[in-house]
């Protein structure tokens, strides 16, 4: 693949990431997982955000760009609709199975009777499906197409003042790096949280399988999602205070600070791993994981904590390694071209 094609695909992927993980608000997510008209409103609102970030494609490629925008937006809404239904079904199955096999209890057995990896698997499948739709739509509608005259003229005026090859390379590097930040700060945090605490991530319920609040009771703030979610790579066990906290401490006070620290540790861990992958220093990745594990060494005697910790850490490292390798492959087209 040429570096020009890689740059276009990188821009399209960045537009998807921004729409999905930066400008998809709490209100949109809450609405999407609600039944009836409210659910459709959430899906269409998110679809509108996706279309907004693909408008430059329509402006640059004309009719084919408009067709690309329409196909990508419709595909995005349909995929999200499928994911919502599949996640609800997986959650209901897990809750029913937990209630069938376990008596109500205040203790947590391992990862909890209602734990299931299906919501996290659906999260990954959703992102893969979005990427495939973008790639196929690009291949069918845009690959090999020449931008409209106004864009070529504007590009020539800009490139006439700079080194065209250097500007192209700098743009590709910038797009790839911004995409890496979004993936490892926001997307990975959501993925790990969905894997470790599926009930809390999907509908606000406890990991023991207790139903969450009804949609109307959930917060509907329309704020941007730019930071990590709480409790990702360093999950805190539901119903337990972290080591060192007083037994009588309120749950909110006992959990808030360690969870935020854990989320920040997860982000730094992933960014360091990505940096090591891009610089070819993969041997240093082991030191990052070892340092993180040493800090939690005594707590690993607790089976519940050890399972959460291992699951969250492996998922976090996997995302960082995968995104880093994909970014390195994209950047390799600079030297190949």
Q: What is the 3-state secondary structure (H, E, C) of 150-206?
A: HHHHHHHHHHCCCCHHHHHHHHHHHHHHHHHHHHHHHHHHHHHHHHHCHHHHHHCCC
Q: Answer whether 331's CB lies under 8 Å from 307's CB.
A: no
**Least confident piece of the model among 17-31, 148-162, 303-317:** 148-162
Query: What pLDDT sits at residue 257?
Result: 54
Q: What's the number of domains the chain is made of?
A: 1
**Residue 194 clears pLDDT 80, i.e. is over it:** yes
Mean pLDDT (whole number) for 300-319: 83
Helix H or strand E segment including 333: helix 303-336
* Average of per-residue pLDDT values in the chain: 78
328 pLDDT band, cuts 50/70/90, is: very high
- Contact of 142 with 8, CB cutoff 8 Å: yes
pLDDT at residue 320 in the model: 95
Print the domain residue range for 225: 3-336
Only one residue has tokens 């939690």, namely: 296
Q: What are phi and psi of 12, to 5 degrees?
A: -65, -40
When pLDDT is cut at 50, 70 and 90, the band that residue 336 belongs to is low
């Amino acid at each position: 693949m040429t570096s020009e094609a890689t740059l276009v695909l990188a821009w399209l992927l960045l537009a998807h990431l921004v729409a999905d993980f930066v400008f998809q608000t709490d209100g949109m997510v809450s609405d999407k997982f609600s039944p009836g008209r409210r659910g459709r409103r959430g899906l269409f609102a998110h679809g509108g955000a996706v279309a907004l970030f693909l408008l430059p494609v329509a402006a640059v490629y004309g009719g084919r760009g408009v067709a690309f925008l329409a196909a990508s937006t419709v595909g995005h809404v349909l995929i999200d609709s499928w994911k919502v239904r599949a996640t609800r079904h997986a959650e209901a199955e897990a809750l029913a199975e937990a209630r069938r096999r376990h008596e109500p209890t205040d203790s947590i057995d391992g990862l909890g009777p209602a734990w299931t990896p299906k919501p996290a698997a659906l999260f990954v499948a959703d992102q893969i499906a979005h990427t495939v739709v973008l790639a196929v739509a690009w291949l069918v509608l845009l690959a090999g197409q020449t931008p409209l005259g106004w864009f070529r003229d504007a590009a020539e005026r800009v490139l006439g003042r700079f080194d065209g090859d250097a500007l192209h390379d700098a743009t590709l590097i910038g797009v790839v790096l911004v995409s890496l930040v979004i993936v490892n700060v926001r997307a990975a945090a959501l993925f790990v949280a969905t894997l470790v605490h599926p009930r809390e991530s999907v509908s606000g319920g406890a990991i023991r399988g207790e139903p969450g609040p009804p949609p109307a009771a959930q917060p509907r703030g329309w704020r941007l999602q730019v930071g990590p979610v709480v409790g990702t790579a360093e999950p805190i066990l539901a119903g337990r205070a972290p080591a060192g906290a007083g037994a009588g401490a309120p749950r909110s006070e006992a959990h808030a600070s360690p969870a935020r620290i854990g989320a920040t540790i997860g982000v730094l861990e992933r960014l360091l791993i990505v940096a090591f992958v891009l610089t070819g220093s993969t041997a240093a990745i082991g030191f990052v994981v070892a340092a993180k594990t040493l800090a939690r060494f005594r707590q690993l005697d607790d089976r519940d904590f050890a399972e959460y910790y291992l699951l969250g850490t492996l998922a976090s490292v996997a995302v960082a390694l995968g995104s880093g390798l994909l970014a390195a492959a994209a950047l390799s087209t600079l030297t190949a071209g």
